[in-house]
Amino acid sequence: MWKAYKGYLNGIVQGVGMRFSVRTTATRKGLRGHVKNLPDGRVEIYFVGKEKDIERMIDLLRRNKIGAGHIDSVEGEWLDAPDDAPDSFDVKF
């Protein structure tokens, strides 16, 4: 079953290649969506895909297995997958 997850990475997550590492890993897992830096120092994540693949991605982020920074926390919420799901996983600027 497809789901969506919108969340935020807190910690040392900007200026360390986090967005590109998230995109690479998400793409490998078949996820769609985006990642982008926010003005307050957090990184926004938006995943669309199979629930188990999103769960694995969130687990990797919580265990600091993605990127060179340090993630203190991942906060977010589960959503229904949109009818117009993105076709790819993008880094937004």
The answer to whether residue 62 is catalytic is no
Candidate list 23, 32, 37, 42, residue with the active-site label = 37
What does 5-61 look like in DSSP terms, one character per residue? EEEEEEEE-SSSSHHHHHHHHHHHTT-EEEEEE-TTS-EEEEEEEEHHHHHHHHHHH
The answer to whether residue 19 is catalytic is yes
Candidate list 10, 19, 28, 42, residue with the active-site label = 19
Tell me the catalytic residues: 19, 37
